[in-house]
Amino acid sequence: MSKNLLTILLFISLAFNLAVLGSVFWLHSQRPKHHPRFHERNDRPQLPEHLQELPWDPSLRDLRQAYDRDRILLMRELAKADYDVQLANALIDSSLSDQAQLEKALAIRFLELRSKMSRAEASEYFEARAAQIERRSNRFSRIHERRKSNEKNDHYKPGAFGGRRRPAGSKSR
C-alpha cells in the first residue's frame, strides 16, 4: 500500500475512535447520576444528632430474625407438594406472635426516643416517618388500583371471548 493511503486510513481510524470516545463521554455526562424517585422512596428520616449515638437494642434484631425465619419456614412448607396443614397453621400462629412482639418492641423503642426529643425534633422526625409510611402505602394502593382497573377491562384482551375482541352478538360499525 502506498504511504498516502495508509495515512488516510490512519486519520479515518483516528476520527472513528475520537467519535466513539466523544459519544461515550457525552452520554455519560448527560445521564442523571441518581434517579430522584429512588431517593424519595429510600430516604429514611434521620434521628436528631444527639440521639444518633444511642445504642441499638439487639433484641429488635433477634425478634426480626425470628419473624423472618417463621415466614420463610411457612413459605417452604406451603411450597411442598404434600404440605402439612397443621404445621402451616402452627407456623402462621408463630409468625403472628413474632410479629406482635416485634411491633411492640418497636413501639416501645419509639416511645423511648420520643421521651428524649424536644417537641420540634419529635414533630419533624415522626412526621417524616409518617410521610414515608404513607408514601409506601400509597404506592401499594396505586399498584392495586391499577390491577383492579386492568381486571375490569379484561374483555378487551385477546382471548377473553374465545379469541374475539368483542362479546358474541355485538355488531361492529
Q: Is residue 109 part of a domain?
A: yes
Environment class of 64 (CB within 10 Å of its CB; exposed 0-12, middle 13-18, buried 19+): middle
- Domain-embedded: residue 48: no
| Domain contains 140 | yes
Q: What is the dihedral of CA 18, 21, 22, 23, to 10 degrees?
A: 120
Neighbours of 121 (CB within 10 A): 17
φ/ψ region of 163 (left if φ > 0, alpha if ψ in -120 to 50, else beta) reads left
105-156: pLDDT as tens digits: 999 988 988 998 899 988 998 998 898 888 888 887 777 777 666 666 555 5
pLDDT at position 173 is: 47
Specify if 91 maps to a domain.
Answer: yes
β-bridge mates for residue 164, sequence order = 161
| 104 domain-assigned | yes
Q: Which long-range contacts (CB under 8 A, 24 or more apart) does 78-87 make?
A: none
- What is the number of structural domains in the chain? 1
| Domain membership flag for residue 42 | no
* pLDDT mean over 81-95: 93
Domain of residue 113, residue span: 57-147
Lowest mean pLDDT among 9-23, 47-61, 70-84: 47-61
Q: Residue 32 pLDDT > 90, yes or no? A: no
Q: What is the pTM of this model?
A: 0.55
Torsion, Cα 7 11 12 13, to 10 degrees, reads 100
All three cell numbers of 152, joined, read 375490569
